[in-house]
Amino acid sequence: MSKEKKLVESITSRTDDFAQWYTDVVREAKLCDYSDIKGCLNYLPNGYAIWENIQNDLDKRFKKTGVKNVYLPVLIPESLLQKEKDHIEGFAPEVAWVTHGGLEKLEERFCIRPTSETLFCDYWQKIVKSYRDLPIVWNQWNNVLRWEKTTRPFLRSREFLWQEGHTIHATADEARERTKMMFDVYRDFVEEDLAIPLICGRKTDSEKFAGAEDTYTIEAMMFDGKALQSGTSHYFGHSFPDAFNIKYLDSNNNLHSVYETSWGMSTRIIGAIIMVHGDDSGLILPPRIAPIQTKVIPIAQHKEGVLEKANELVQKLNDFGIKVEIDDSEKSPGFKFAEQEVLGIPTRIEIGPRDIENNQVVVVRRDNGEKITVGFDEVDSKLEEILNSIQHDMYNKAKEFLNNHIYCAKTIDEMINISNEKIGFIKASWCGSPDCEDEIKDKTHGFGSRCIDEGDKASGKCVNCGKDAKHVVYWGKSY
Amino acid sequence: MSKEKKLVESITSRTDDFAQWYTDVVREAKLCDYSDIKGCLNYLPNGYAIWENIQNDLDKRFKKTGVKNVYLPVLIPESLLQKEKDHIEGFAPEVAWVTHGGLEKLEERFCIRPTSETLFCDYWQKIVKSYRDLPIVWNQWNNVLRWEKTTRPFLRSREFLWQEGHTIHATADEARERTKMMFDVYRDFVEEDLAIPLICGRKTDSEKFAGAEDTYTIEAMMFDGKALQSGTSHYFGHSFPDAFNIKYLDSNNNLHSVYETSWGMSTRIIGAIIMVHGDDSGLILPPRIAPIQTKVIPIAQHKEGVLEKANELVQKLNDFGIKVEIDDSEKSPGFKFAEQEVLGIPTRIEIGPRDIENNQVVVVRRDNGEKITVGFDEVDSKLEEILNSIQHDMYNKAKEFLNNHIYCAKTIDEMINISNEKIGFIKASWCGSPDCEDEIKDKTHGFGSRCIDEGDKASGKCVNCGKDAKHVVYWGKSY
């Protein structure tokens, strides 16, 4: 019993200290761990398995839209990184430099890629000749490095894993359509598979990606009311293509610049899963992304027939396509329950001598603790229903939380009051000036612009200066 | 017609110049391309899709044996790389060094991982306490960098993609079993999925991995008779664990060292697929690993009903689970045929007005050019049979080639004669001395030891010195 207690007590309460709760959950669920290399993570089996599922699901969605996967080098020559002015300004302070290869000093330094726009553009400049070569719609799953000062597991680390999609097109319309299409892919994936509701929209000029004309973002609200930017899709227009001189001949032999996009989602999203769904007992994984969807825990497993029946159950669920594991170790059932809870496995199935007598099992939902008695013969289809309900309920619960923590403000005083008293986002109109944007953030102690709500036409006045508003913006603190 | 001709003529004949043939196929099939970073490759969609299939298939085989995937950092501190003496000697001359992070010079240099034994051991030293923590059976899919002087697409490049498995165990027996198990996984995968027959065995001491007690290798024979080392599995015993002080307490509270293994397969294996199966028209992909298994090519596609029926065919095959694409572009059928051949797509299906009249299609096999008329209604199951036959026939053809190019030698003169006159491997007995091994390689102008045939007990005399033989060894030139 002492060990069981320890397992639960070692997680700080979410409401006492959310940051500590997060660290505790990451550690106790064995998702990742700091390595000896400052700011770099060891992704452990439990955490990496979530990333593998994210990769699989997202990659299928990409391929349905015609994306082809490629892999370009991890190193970028310094001269290449410098070709696009805004880009080098944005990234130069935070890249790692390779200066020696083997025993020799290099003639030119290489940086480890912080992102690969420059490499893609450099290659396209060589291979794109005519309109027949367009569009090019490529993506890579890879590691990138940014020399961050302060780091936190999944949320900000020097090395992280992600996908970066890069595309070029003959027309601006087609490129803009691709930018929006990938933004939609991200939104659908996060809402449907991760059960995380979002606010979505365009970034203001001061918040967009270095070198982009437009950046679209999906933003999730964490349990502490702060936003986590969870995926971005950029429209570059001609900025990189002109810097890299990527031109194509149209069918009339006229030369044109191409239009470019890029879009990315990273291991950061695992942080969102933790902070949106977790509770004081640990992680809660949405069934669609959970590496294990149910844990079978035999009760009184030393008694005759229990382990046999439990293994029959595992086989039955496995055949049905449910991701199932059994814990038949010598630990006590109570310890196993606590462990399943910490790990966020969406359900556990308890099966003991009395259940076997009654030809039934007990399914326990991780999200709400509900115990459901299910006949053994129909356990596979019933469990599938339960997993679907959990997925659905987790989304709705998070959606309710999000809706309950979005406030509207007409004046800056209202905004300041809300920012002092509440957690969450504030919806308020804005004139479009970067100065007002900065002042709002200052006056509210950190409520920056998260995104422009493009579905909501501004009609009133800017919350800060009182001039005519151009946009309705979501404001919030962020990770 | 000029363009079609060009497509085929641009590939040098295999027998005229095999090295040039290889380069031509890689280029024409658009598998990869050199990047601006010397010795680093851009993996293009056609090449990367093969790698994705290799990853999927191999990863499933790993997971069936209990492997868990993880991800450890791309950077290794210099002090860590130096902990195991043989290891640093082997790798120091060929790593790239990071000396600056952002705008600051680092206190200690990091290398970009050439392989990750040191990182895994460093982490295990921290987390392994008792026998309950063992075994640990981890793997990662990642990029590594080795600062090679001369490079060739897939076969040798500075950066390459691979998987590296790392495991530790409480007993030597268990670790040795894991070493052999992964060696078997590689062999089965390459023979069954890539249709490549192998010679398999243990490396001699001078050929084994730096720091290993034993290295097991699978070696394939290329069309020029040279060997390509295609996957290795290492047993380390205590070498790394002792250097990193990884100890565990057994159930009686006694402290012991752990036993370690590692095993890897890389994008190099794509080179083997090309050089074992390809012909003068280009690549030939085994159906089980081919990203596209059949290309539908409509004939006289402007005629009424042709495209509709061709698309119906695509749908039908797709529903059946066959990886199918259609080429309904404006190119001529002849050009499309040549393209399908260069890309190595295992079959094409020709469907024109006359075929539609007769409710049939024509399937053309890439491996032998055979044309098979198949009724439209049964095309899905018939095509599956044809793909299975191709897989089977490709293996048998390569197996026959391998068997026909293995020679036995009893004396060094015989060996020298064979090495002068033939391509392939030579099987010959060896006393076990490294000096004899070196002399044999010198005298035969490059026939090094590929592996010890552990199924064949040595009885005679060493082919070089005439002393009692310890092993029967496969000798050959290699990539």
What pLDDT, on a 0 to 100 scale, did the predictor assign at position B470? 96
Contact B70 A142 (CB under 8 A): no
Mean per-residue pLDDT, A94-114: 94
The reply to whether A465 touches chain B by the CB within 8 Å rule is: no
The reply to whether A30 touches chain B by the CB within 8 Å rule is: no
Contact A93 B110 (CB under 8 A): no
Contact residues, chain A, for B75 at CB < 8 Å: 37, 40, 96, 145, 159
Contact residues, chain A, for B52 at CB < 8 Å: 69
What pLDDT, on a 0 to 100 scale, did the predictor assign at position B4? 43
Number of residue pairs across A and B with CB atoms under 8 Å? 143
Backbone angles phi, psi at B210, to 5 degrees: -60, 110
Contact B42 A73 (CB under 8 A): yes
Contact residues, chain B, for A112 at CB < 8 Å: 74, 98, 112
Q: Determine contact, residues B146/B94, Cβ cutoff 8 Å.
A: yes
Contact residues, chain A, for B71 at CB < 8 Å: 42-43, 48, 51, 143, 161
A-facing residues of B in 115-134 (CB < 8 A) are 119, 122-123, 127
The reply to whether B35 touches chain A by the CB within 8 Å rule is: yes
The reply to whether A143 touches chain B by the CB within 8 Å rule is: yes
Band of residue B211 on the pLDDT scale cut at 50, 70, 90: confident
CA nearest neighbour of B113 among B166, B163, B164, B74: B74
Contact residues, chain A, for B122 at CB < 8 Å: 36
Residue B377 burial (CB count, 10 A): 11
Least confident of A392-396, B405-409, B458-462, B467-471: B458-462
The reply to whether A50 touches chain B by the CB within 8 Å rule is: no
Q: Determine contact, residues B426/B476, Cβ cutoff 8 Å.
A: yes
CA nearest neighbour of B94 among B39, B164, B165, B27: B39
The 3-state DSSP class for residue A237 equals strand
The reply to whether A270 touches chain B by the CB within 8 Å rule is: no
The reply to whether B154 touches chain A by the CB within 8 Å rule is: no
Q: Determine contact, residues A202/A216, Cβ cutoff 8 Å.
A: yes
The reply to whether A145 touches chain B by the CB within 8 Å rule is: yes
The 3-state DSSP class for residue B228 equals strand
User: Kind of pairing, strands A425-430 and A406-408?
Assistant: parallel
pLDDT per position as a tens digit, A157-208: 999 999 999 999 999 999 999 999 999 999 999 999 999 999 999 999 999 9
- Looking at domain A10-277, which CATH architecture does it have? 2-Layer Sandwich (3.30)
Q: Judge whether residue B5 has pLDDT over 60.
A: no
The reply to whether B37 touches chain A by the CB within 8 Å rule is: yes
Least confident of A175-179, B280-284, B455-459: B455-459
- DSSP-derived secondary structure letter, B184: H
Give the residue from A58, A100, A109, A137 with the most B CB atoms within 10 Å of its CB, the best one to mutate: A100
Residue A420 neighbours by CB under 8 Å, 6+ apart: none
Alpha carbon distance A240, A257 (integer Å): 10
Mean per-residue pLDDT, A110-118: 96
Residue of chain A whose alpha carbon sits nearest to that of B138:
A45
pLDDT per position as a tens digit, B71-118: 999 999 999 998 887 778 888 889 999 999 988 999 999 999 999 999
Of residues B149 and A129, more confidence is placed in A129
Q: Judge whether residue B458 has pLDDT over 80.
A: no
Contact residues, chain A, for B142 at CB < 8 Å: 143
B348 Cα distance to chain centroid? 26
What pLDDT, on a 0 to 100 scale, did the predictor assign at position B87? 78
Residue B155 neighbours by CB under 8 Å, 6+ apart: B228, B268, B271, B479
The structure's pTM equals: 0.96
- The class of domain A406-476 in CATH terms is alpha beta
Alpha carbon distance B42, A71 (integer Å): 6
Contact residues, chain A, for B95 at CB < 8 Å: 102
Contact residues, chain B, for A76 at CB < 8 Å: 37
Give the gap in angstroms from C-alpha A272 to the nearest C-alpha of chain B: 20
Among the partner-chain residues B74, B80, B101, the one whose CB lies closest to the CB of A147 is B101
Interhelix angle for A268-277 vs A45-64, to 10°? 110
Residue A320 neighbours by CB under 8 Å, 6+ apart: A380, A381, A383, A384
Give the residue from B30, B60, B67, B71 with the most A CB atoms within 10 Å of its CB, the best one to mutate: B71
User: Kind of pairing, strands B324-326 and B294-298?
Assistant: parallel
The reply to whether B89 touches chain A by the CB within 8 Å rule is: no
Mean per-residue pLDDT, A74-96: 88
Q: Judge whether residue A4 has pLDDT over 50.
A: no
Q: What does the block give as tokens for B75? A: 């950077």
Mean per-residue pLDDT, A437-451: 97
Give the gap in angstroms from C-alpha A478 to the nearest C-alpha of chain B: 24
Q: What is the mean pLDDT of chain B?
A: 95
pLDDT per position as a tens digit, B27-80: 999 999 999 888 999 999 999 999 999 999 999 999 999 999 999 999 999 999
What pLDDT, on a 0 to 100 scale, did the predictor assign at position A457? 82
Contact B159 A35 (CB under 8 A): no
- Answer whether B294-389 and B406-476 agree in fold: no
Of residues B460 and A135, more confidence is placed in A135
Owner of token pair 């349905």: A64
Give the gap in angstroms from C-alpha B60 to the nearest C-alpha of chain A: 13
Q: Judge whether residue A122 has pLDDT over 80.
A: yes
- The class of domain B294-389 in CATH terms is alpha beta
Contact A119 B35 (CB under 8 A): yes
Contact A52 B69 (CB under 8 A): yes
Q: Determine contact, residues B240/B84, Cβ cutoff 8 Å.
A: yes
Helical spans, DSSP H, in B147-263: 172-192, 239-244
Contact A98 B75 (CB under 8 A): no
pLDDT per position as a tens digit, B126-139: 999 999 999 999 99
Q: Does domain A294-386 have CATH number 3.40.50.800?
A: yes
Cis peptide before A298 (omega within 30 of 0): no
Residue B116 neighbours by CB under 8 Å, 6+ apart: B72, B76, B140, B142, B144, B164, B166
Q: What is the DSSP string of A409-457?
A: -SSHHHHHHHHHH--SEEEEEE-S-HHHHHHHHHHTTS-EEEEEEEEEE
Q: What does the block give as tokens for A299? A: 């009760």
What pLDDT, on a 0 to 100 scale, did the predictor assign at position A458? 77
Contact residues, chain B, for A270 at CB < 8 Å: none
The reply to whether B98 touches chain A by the CB within 8 Å rule is: yes
Among the partner-chain residues A72, A100, A138, the one whose CB lies closest to the CB of B96 is A100
What pLDDT, on a 0 to 100 scale, did the predictor assign at position B8? 53
Out of 1.10.1200.10, 3.30.930.10, 2.60.40.10, 3.90.180.10, the CATH code matching B2-277 is 3.30.930.10
Q: What is the mean pLDDT of chain A?
A: 95
Give the gap in angstroms from C-alpha A455 to the nearest C-alpha of chain B: 37
Mean per-residue pLDDT, A418-428: 97
The reply to whether B320 touches chain A by the CB within 8 Å rule is: no
Give the residue from B3, B33, B37 with the most A CB atoms within 10 Å of its CB, the best one to mutate: B37
The reply to whether A408 touches chain B by the CB within 8 Å rule is: no
Residue of chain B whose alpha carbon sits nearest to that of A108:
B37
Contact residues, chain A, for B112 at CB < 8 Å: 74, 98, 112
Q: Judge whether residue B6 has pLDDT over 70.
A: no
Q: Count how many Cα atoms sit within 13 Å of the Cα of residue A252 in the half-sphere of its side chain.
A: 2
What pLDDT, on a 0 to 100 scale, did the predictor assign at position B9? 60
Give the gap in angstroms from C-alpha A428 to the nearest C-alpha of chain B: 37
Q: Break chain B into its structural domains and give their ranges.
A: 2-277, 294-389, 406-476
Alpha carbon distance A299, B112 (integer Å): 49
Owner of token pair 């490294």: B434
Residue of chain B whose alpha carbon sits nearest to that of A139:
B45
Q: Judge whether residue A396 has pLDDT over 60.
A: yes
